[in-house]
Every structure is written in C-alpha cells, then in structure tokens.
A and B are shown apart, each in its own frame.
Chain A
C-alpha cells in the first residue's frame, strides 16, 4: 500500500468514526425528545469556522501552523463531515424559512463548489501532463506573444494568395488571445482539427517553399492549441475558488446571525 492509499484509508476511517459518533449522539438526543438543533447548530458553526481557517492559514505562511498539505486534508474530510452535521441540523428536509433557506442554499453551493474543486484538483493535473508543455499560468501571455510574433514573421514569407487569406481570415484572430476554452474543457480537438484541415485544403495550391511555410504554421497552431488547453484548465483551477471562498465567508456571517436569532427566539 503506497503512502497516498494509506493516508486515504486512515482519513476515511477517521471520517467514518467521527460520523458514527455523531449519529450516535444525534439518535440518542432525538429519541430522548431533546432539541438537537442547538447541539448540531453549534457543531455546524464550529465546523464552518474551522473550514474557513484553512483560507486564513494560507495568508499566514510565516507562522508555524503545520503544513498546508495537512490543513488541506483536514479541510477536505472535515468538509465531508460537515455535510452530515448539516443534514442532521436540518432534519433531512429542505428549510422553508427565508434566512434558513438562504443559509441552506449557500451551504449547498459552497459544498458543491468545494466538491467540484476537489474533483478538478484531482483530474486536471493528470490531463495537463498528457498534452503539451507544462507552463506557468502567469507566463502564458508571454508564450502566446512569442508564438504570435513567430507567426507574424512567418507571414512575411507568404507569397500564396490563398495562404495569405487563410492567415488574415483565421490565424490572426486565432493567435490574438486564448481561444476555444470551452472546447478544451470538453477535451475536444475539433477547433484545432478545423484549422489544420483548412491548411491541408490549401496544400495543392502551394509550391514547395510555401508548403514549408504551411508546415511551420501547422506547428505553431498545434503549440497554440496546447497552450490554450493548459490555459483553459489552469483557469478553472484558479477560478473555482472565486465561488467557493466568498460564499463561504457569507455563509459564516449569516450562520452567526442565524445563531443569534435562534437564541433570541428560543422562548
């Protein structure tokens, strides 16, 4: 058993144990006609605070607060346990109050975005390794500029009218910025293939020199396509947090208000 598998086994066992204990306490309280909403509510609020601290931990890299990798593992498994706490808190029903409904919606979006992020962070790196060159997200505009400059230099050597038209009509637009991001996320090769098919269709009108230019264009298009593929996937890895983190903070604030209201209206 490798380290990753062992780690997962240990973490899942801990998650199962905690969940079983939680269920035991919940059932025990419920069948004793106790109001479990305050018990589960405090657990839920504490869990959300703990989960949010992961973001704060990343802002404090200089403090000796264990490794971020450990925090990430704790964040993932505590997040899964929090789903159970939430389900018990709402008694497995959809809340029908405005504030509670909003809280439930926020919680659902935060959880789903978190699970989505987990899925992305587990699948995208593998995809990136299988295609093109691994490049830093921040440097991709520079690499694109270099490709664009090479294409422009190549365009000066074009003598064929058909190749010139293809360059003007399609390649200038294509190299202006990252294109076909959604197609890349869907693992589609169709955009690149259309461009390459377009170039291949010009082949019979070209002489040997122009065919060499065309072959270099094919090479540039393939490189640009791989670069766009990386840009699309790395963007997703960057931008899913734009949903997860802001809503998590909103959830935390509303959960605090909910707790105050619950105690205020307890009697």
Chain B
C-alpha cells in the first residue's frame, strides 16, 4: 500500500516560503515551528497557539494541520500549555546561494584589487596581465615597456623618464605621444639603415603606429617605404597593381567574397601598416610570427583566387630571360660540345644546393669551364694606351706639325681609338671638343678634310702627347685623376689598388705599377723628345715633323705587352682578373659617355677577357638610382641567386627529388622553356604538397635587420630601478 505523504489543503499543511532567508532550526529534524525566524535570523519561538477567552474559559486555538486542539487546553493563566523549544535558525538554500555569490564576488574583487590596484606584487601583476609568452625570437624581452608605450609611460611616471628622446640611432623619439587617449597622433623618427649607426631615419606617423615605432627600435628598417605594404614605394606598388588589373580573379573562396563586404585593411593615412597587423605576439614560444594564412595574404590584393592550383595567375618571368646576371647556352653546350667530346652533360656536375638549400649554387669557373675557356680569356689583351695612325703629311701640308711620330703607329688602319684611350683623352675639354669634331673622319686618312677638321686632328695629336707625358711623369696620381674625371665618379679603394696601383693590398706602394713602367719604356722609345716638344708647342713655337723609323722594342712589365702597332695592352691574368673586374664595376658606376662607351666595350663578348660571354655587364635601374655596388650582381653567376622577383623566392632543396629538367627544360633557343604554373601544380595541389603563399612569396621585399642585443640592455639601464627589480617575465 502506497502511503500518501503530502496534503495541500490549507487546514492540513503549512504555507512554504522558500524565498525567505532564514528557516527554523528544527526543519532538519522535521519539526519546524509555524512562526519561523524573523528577517534577522532570530528565533521567535513562543507557544504552539494563542488561547482565547470565552465565557471566562480559555480555549486552545491550535490549527488542525498542527494537531488540532490539544487535550490539556490552556493553563489557568491563559497561556498555552505547549511551549515551542527555541532553536538556532539556519539560512535557507536560496540565502546560502546568495551568500556564496557574495563571497565569490568579494573574493574576486578583493584579489583583483590587491593584485592590480596596489604597488605590491608587480611581478605577479605583469605575469597576470601578460596575455601569454612571447615567441622564441622575443623571449629575451623581459619588460612590457619594450613593446608597449603604455607600460613605458607607466614606468616613466613611476620612476623617471625612460622614453625621453636620447636621439641615438634606433631610439624612438616620440614627438607627440598622447598623454591620454584621444591625444594627438604619434610621430616618431626611427633610425634605419644597415650601417653601424643606422641609416636614414624612417618616419613613423600615425596613431596606430606607436608599437610599430618600438618594433623599429630593434628591427632596422632599410628605407622610408619599410612600413608600406610589401615595403614598396607607393608609386611602385600602384604600378604593380595596375599591371595586376589586367588579370582576372578566379575561383575566389566564399570567405574572401564575404571579406569584401567588410572594412578595408587598417592603414594609416600615409598607407603605412603596423607590424602587429600581421605579426601576432603573445601566442606562445612556438608561435610562428611570420606565418600568414593564404586568405590573409590576399586581403589587399586586387586579384584573388582560391589557391595556387585554383586560379593563381600564370608565371610572368620566363626562364633564361635577360634579367639573369649571367648567360649560359645549356642546350648548345650539351649538343655541340659535350656530345661531340663524348662527355656526360650532367646538371649536378655544375650545380649544387647551397648550404641553406634555398639556392642552386654554381660550381667554380675552374671546375666547370677552365678546361675549355681559360686560354681564351688570356689570349687577347685590352688596348689601354696607343699611338694611332696619323696622316701627318696632310697635316704638315696644312701647316700643322705633330713633331716626332712613329712610322708604325696605326699600322692597323682599321683599328679605332680604343674606348679607354678615348675616355682618358676626353678629360681635356679641348681635346674632347676636337674628338667630337673629328667624328666621321679618320685620323689616319685626312685627305680632302676641311681646315677645321685638320686643326682638330692636330689638337687630338697634341692632346694625346700631353696625356702620355702627364701619365709618364705624373704616375699614379695622374692616372687616378684622369680616370675619375673620365668616369665621373670617385674611385673606391679597391679600384685604386687594382687599376692605378696594380698591386694587392699587402704589397708595398713603392712598387712601380706595371702600366707605368711599360708606358715610360714605350715613351722613351717612341717619343724620346716628348717633354721638349710639348714645351715648345705650348710656348707657341714650331715643332717640325720628325717621322721616326728607328726604335727598339720597349720592354713591357709582366701582364703588359707593347705591340708593333704602337699599342700598350693589358693581358688578363685569367678568370676573375681583378683589373678587368674593377674596370667594369667602375665604368658601371660612372656617369657620362666615356663610362658608357667603356662598359659597352667590356660588354662585347669578343672584348679582352671575354667577360660578357657569360656575365651580363648591364647596370639596372636600381644601380643607377642608388649608385650602388654592382660587384655582387655582375659576378653573381659564381655565387648563385635565389631571387626570381622582388617578392618571390624559390627553395630548390626540397625539389631536388625530381630531375632538374622536369622543370628546367631546354628550349629550342639558347636557354630554357618557360616554367609554367602547371609544372608546379602537378605536386602543389590540395591533398598533396602545400599551397601556402609563403612557399614562394615573401612579404617584405627587404628584410628588417635586428639590432645588436645591446639595445635591450641599454633600454633596461634606462628603466627605473624599481621596475628592474620587480619585473617578472613577459
């Protein structure tokens, strides 16, 4: 039989009030009194009923649900005969929950106030505030102030001015740091450049670049455009964007389409991007700071696509184009030389992966080419100085005497004045003007020329004599002066050593350079009265024609030769000849027609040394704009290059599992077939090799250079002592 426990009739059960804070202490025992505690939790126990008097008799009033009228009835004095025992009231379930909430709130707020509100526990506070460990690259940073201006201001306020503009290279000088939110935008100048003390200052303007300015205090920005997208000058970026406009977006992911509905990329007014836009910190030691999602990479791009195998534009740089710093006819060598000789034409015999694996290096000239080409390089000398053939008889008939002149000069009548000689002569404005006037005429055949041309020819001859005299008497200084005037640029130290001194840096300067010894010997034989003739000519006195037939062969210094045709030639010592290298570099740096002509001469494959047979001796626009050092680029073939484009690299090492010619197929012309995207997408597609943009593209066109660690220690030294002692890990 089931028992019935609960009645809800008013006369059989109490009215429950579970929302009251206190309940009777007898509740647990199952005997709560009907009065219950008051609001303050005090027991109000009295009696089970309050008797009432009727007809001089007291009557019990206990209700039915508490047992009804008692048998004893009230006492004679009118009090109830059943007193309620007192209790210790207890909190209700609801009140206990409320107390727990209050306790939790008080505990949380109290702990927060203690940790964040007072001057204590600074280390714990910083540890609590830090949103996570820094990446491994930044793990040496031990203070928030290194990257957060708010912390720097806080520390400065606490113990001194640590952010004051010291004005040193790399230090952030905040010109308008807001003292509070809503203040003026920050303007900071950060020393950039790669020199010991940094280069030109990089201006960091904008309210969103406070942190970026601090980033640049350690990471050197190399130019003013460092904070622009891709580090490109806005005009250059616009030009690239304009080119991209001709391409179509294909298979654009839904997410990117949705992104187009959102806000623009957060750029400052001048287009600059904060470092933190892409590089997220406080993501743990193993956080890859440089990682970018493919979708994020396309946030700014006008041409968007689903992936490398899904819509990526076709490659635009053809293999074997003129952009390469060297040229080598692979197909020709394989068919015409190696096959004929029965030798194996193997890529690996010349190309090996660099130590980084990024680039395919090229073996040395000695191991690859010397067997066939070393003699070729040494075979032909370069005419440095010469006595050209002069039609002195016609000049004499016109009343212009050239004095003594060797009969054999200019025996090769077809040989023009060598570019180097012409360049040196042109440093004299009068001779340069005469050379220009002679344009179209031949110095060795002046029959029928007008008087002005003949007069110009005479000036050229005497200018040439003056040059020889100046060089033979003035020596190194005269040549250096003439070369610098001719090239329109100052020679560097290594160029002076190679071109003027013709010695190694460890050889004494007292050694007479080979060109000077050879020149003096030749001048003694060819033009023995040069000094007196010049003196008479300059004094306006007549110098009779002296046709010289009899002279001995001058003795040439090693590396030089004196020809029967009155030429002084330089003989290249072999591959990498330092004289020819420096001459090419100096002429590339130089300005003016002389330098151009000299570089054009060296760029001829048949020129002495045959440098241009392999090396592309053509300065690009960047070299011209910056007067930069072209030495690395001219001779890059020996070092191997990795960059295919301003923002594109290719890591060869992981691809060497395939045959080289599976990507680099020989073309019908001298060079390779262009590499198409299909070549790569055979592997780089979903569920196979990765398709990350960062596989081939780099965001920064110029890397930021990290300053020496002393910057951090200096910064630390500037911090208040209290902050240094109490700061915990970042």
Contact = CB atoms under 8 A, between A and B. Distances in A.
A136 B262 contact: no
Contacts of B18: 137-138
Given A133-B4, A227-B5, A31 B148 contact: no
A128 to B, nearest CB: 13
B479 to A, nearest CB: 58
Contacts of B133: 96
Interface string B74-115: 000000000000000000010011001101110111001000
Contact of A219 (B1, B29, B266): B1
B148 A250 contact: no
Nearest to A133: B5
B659 interface: no
A33 interface: yes
B265 to A, nearest CB: 5
A136 B6 contact: yes
A139 B5 CA distance: 10
B30 A25 contact: no
Range of interface residues on chain A? Answer: 35 or more
Nearest to B276: A35
Interface string A178-221: 00000000000000000000000000000000000000000110
B143 to A, nearest CB: 13
B31 A145 contact: yes
A139 B266 CA distance: 64
Contacts of A120: none
B101 A246 contact: yes
Given A32-B259, A247-B104, A264 B150 contact: yes
Given A27-B258, A145-B29, A136 B16 contact: yes
Question: Is chain A's binding surface mostly helix, strand, loop or mixed?
Answer: helix
B30 A144 contact: yes
Contacts of A72: none
Range of interface residues on chain B? Answer: 35 or more
A250 B296 contact: no
B179 interface: no
A265 interface: yes
A242 B4 CA distance: 32
A160 B30 CA distance: 30
B262 A34 contact: yes
A34 B109 contact: no
Contact of A29 (B5, B107, B262): B262
Nearest to B4: A133
Most chain B beta-carbon contacts within 10 A, residue among A31, A96, A238: A31
Contacts of A247: 104
The 7 closest A-B pairs by CB, nearest first: A145-B30, A28-B262, A31-B259, A246-B104, A96-B132, A97-B131, A250-B108
Interface of A: 24-25, 27-35, 93, 95-100, 133-139, 141-148, 219-220, 223, 227, 238-239, 241-242, 245-247, 249-250, 253-254, 257, 261, 264-267
19 contacts: A27-B255, A28-B263, A31-B256, A32-B265, A96-B132, A96-B284, A97-B128, A98-B127, A133-B5, A135-B5, A138-B27, A139-B16, A141-B32, A148-B30, A245-B97, A253-B105, A253-B112, A257-B116, A267-B150
Given A34-B262, A97-B129, A97-B132, 12 more contacts: A27-B259, A32-B262, A33-B300, A95-B131, A97-B131, A135-B5, A141-B27, A144-B30, A250-B107, A253-B109, A261-B116, A265-B148
